[in-house]
Amino acid sequence: MVDGDRRSRVLGLLIGSGDNPLCASRLCEVCAQVTGMSGAGIMLMSGDVPRGSLCTTDKVSDLIEQLQFLLGEGPCVDAYHQDWPVLEPDLANPQSSRWPAFAGQAAEAGVRAVFGFPLQVGSVRLGALNLYRDRPGPLTDDQHADALVLSDLVAQSVLVLQATAQPGALAAELEEGADLHFTVHQASGMVSVQLGVSVGQALIRLRAYAFSNGIPLSEVAESVITRTLRFAATGDGSYN
Amino acid sequence: MHIDELRLQCLSRHLTKWDLRSFGLVHALSEVTAAMPQLFDVDGAGILLADEEHVLRHVASTDASAKALESLQESVGRGPCVQSLVQDMVVATPDVLEDPRWPELGQLFAENGIRSILGAPVHLVGAPLGSLNVYKSTVHEWDESDHRALAAFETLVERLITASLALERSEAVATQLQEALRARIEIERSVGIVMALEDLDAVDAFQRVRRMARSARKPIREIASDIIKYKKIAY
């Protein structure tokens, strides 16, 4: 299939019909559908770190995004930094152990193959698209070509959504549709006061606590905000 | 000047695959002009584009003569390329020494190795924006095939400029999105700090930050980064 046909077919799916206009949640569905994957997620990044998830198709995709936000490693993070597709056709038996913490947990959740594609507009990088499948195996040439077209169109679509925003503000569609981990950042602010450290360091402490206790970062953040968990300057954190 | 259709098609295909992001428009235009003497029987080529004050500026040229062709017109504000832009038409000069329209330029052109000139307007969304020029060091009657060849290149240049501008606009929104994301996160972090300092819940802490911004007459993101920096509540 020539690239132009591929593009217009995907565009048709993204734009949808009149009563079903372009929206953040459908971006992921179309990505999974077109490439024939088990699921897809779109990660927004800025300043070199994951900022949040624009959409995910299912629980497993959501976990893939959450783990990368928690651990700072994974296919999207690499795709973003390397500015190139990152392909792991067999996550349970990877050729190289590039994501020691991510791979184990993702595989446990049923991810057998995972692929990251950078989202880029000109020289500005926006994040990455992740695709996963519940059985191992590489992408076919067609799937790979579709994913490239999709990541380009997804990046453009994100801009279409953002173009309506006031300068300096996020568009409502992105603000409401995306999971930008606001509670985690609020908790970082609180912990930075509790520990007398920078918010960046506080976020690291929160992540470490979540990881070592096997609790989702969002739950740890919720406990901090509701004051059931308080970090003390002496320890790693303790429940009141 | 007979255009090599097949080679132009190849060049055109090569150009659409080009990554304007890393090359930049000026670089792309330089590559186009550099290709022209290889495809046509001309000695050099150049591009002038109007800047925001509608003054023609030299953008790309193949050699010193082509550069002189442009800079001479740039300084005098007249000449075949300037006229092709102003009148939005192809302007041909078979012999610069015999052209009555630019008597002051003829000798200067000739001294710089330019004897015949063909200039065509470059358009952006239908309006003339600049001029694409070729020259020969000998007297030359520009014929129909010369005009067609130049027009083909003009189309290519226009496509490059349009693509580059669209990219620039998208990049501006993308950069704005990055900044908005960063600001949004800073605000949440400052809300968390206020929650801990003042023992407030998230909603009240956010109201508090917003009030601070209002009374200080500063954008909320500035207040947020002050709170993060100093970990205290001024204002």
* Dihedral (CA of B21, B26, B27, B30) sign: positive
Q: In the CATH scheme, what is the homologous superfamily, with its name and number, of domain B5-170?
A: GAF domain (3.30.450.40)
CA A225, CA A163: separation in Å to the nearest integer?
A: 33
Which CATH number belongs to the domain containing residue A63 in this structure?
3.30.450.40
**Chain B contact probe: residue of A190, A191, A206 with most B CBs at under 10 A:** A190
Q: What is d(CA B66, CA A114) in angstroms, rounded to the nearest whole number? A: 54
- Residues of chain B within CATH 1.10.10.10 domain(s) are 172-230
Instruction: Number of A to B CB contacts under 8 A, please give it.
Output: 117
Token output for B1 = 């000047």
Partners of B219 on chain A (C-beta within 8 Å) are 168
Alpha-helix residue ranges (DSSP H) falling in chain B = 5-17, 20-23, 25-39, 64-76, 80-86, 103-111, 144-198, 202-216, 220-230
In this structure, CATH architecture of domain B172-230: Orthogonal Bundle (1.10)
Whole-number Å distance between alpha carbons of B191 and A183? 10
Secondary structure (3-state) at A133: strand
Please identify among residues 107-136 of chain A the ones whose CB lies closer than 8 Å to any CB of chain B: 121-124, 126
Same domain, residue pair A67 and A35: yes
Say what the pLDDT of residue B234 is.
66
Q: Which stretches in chain A have pLDDT values below 70? A: 1-3, 15-22, 234-240
Kindly indicate the confidence band of residue B162, based on its pLDDT and cuts at 50, 70 and 90.
Answer: confident
Token pair 């300057």: residue: A233
Q: What is the pLDDT of residues B66-89, one digit of tens each?
A: 999 988 988 888 899 889 988 899
pLDDT in tens, B103-156: 999 999 999 999 999 999 998 777 788 899 999 999 999 999 899 889 888 988
The pLDDT confidence band at residue B7, using thresholds 50, 70 and 90, is low
Interface of B with A (CB under 8 A): 20-22, 167-168, 170-171, 173-185, 188-197, 201-202, 219, 221, 228, 231
* Interchain contact, A199 vs B193, CB within 8 Å: yes
Which pLDDT score, from 0 to 100, does residue B14 have? 46
Q: What is the ipTM of this complex?
A: 0.83
Where does chain B hold its CATH 3.30.450.40 domain(s)?
5-170
The shortest CB-CB distance from B174 to any of A121, A174, A199 is to: A121
pLDDT at B39: 81
Question: Which of B33-42, B110-119, B156-165 reaches the highest mean pLDDT?
Answer: B110-119
- Residue A182 Cα, gap to closest chain B Cα (Å): 6
CB atoms A186 and B189 under 8 Å: yes
Residues of B in contact with A121 (CB under 8 A): 167, 170-171, 173-174
* pLDDT for residue A223: 97
- B172 vs A5 pLDDT, higher one: B172
pLDDT band, residue B20 (cuts 50/70/90): very low
Q: Look at residue B36 in the predicted model and tell me its pLDDT.
A: 87
Distance between terminal CA atoms of chain B? 74
pLDDT-derived band at B18, boundaries 50, 70, 90: very low
Contact B122, B129 (CB under 8 A): yes
Measure the CA angle with vertex B8, ends B131 and B95; round to 5°: 45
Out of A177, A199, A222, pick the residue that ends a domain: A177
Same domain, A35 and A92: yes
Answer yes or no: do A40 and A117 share one domain. Answer: yes
Show which of A177, A207, A227 is a domain's final residue.
A177
Domain boundary among A123, A149, A177: A177
Mean pLDDT of B158-177: 84
Contact B171 A121 (CB under 8 A): yes
Specify which residues B124 forms β-bridges with: B127
CB B30 within 8 A of CB B174: no
Domains contained in chain A, number: 2
Pair (A198, A140) in one structural domain: no
Same-domain check for residues A217 and A126? no
**To the nearest whole percent, how much of chain B has pLDDT over 70?**
88
Q: Domain range spanning residue A189?
A: 182-239
Q: Please, which pLDDT band fits residue B170 given cuts at 50, 70 and 90?
A: confident
Is the four-CA dihedral B214, B218, B219, B222 of positive or negative sign? negative
CATH number of the domain where residue A212 is located: 1.10.10
Task: State how far the Cα of B218 lies from the Cα of A119, in Å rounded to an integer.
Answer: 33
Q: Is the pLDDT of residue B2 over 50?
A: no
Length of chain A: 240
8 A C-beta contact, residue B35 and residue B4: no
Q: Over the stretch B218-234, which tens digit does the pLDDT of each residue have?
A: 999 999 999 999 887 76
On the 0-12 / 13-18 / 19+ scale of CB atoms within 10 A, A186 is buried
pLDDT at B169 over 50: yes
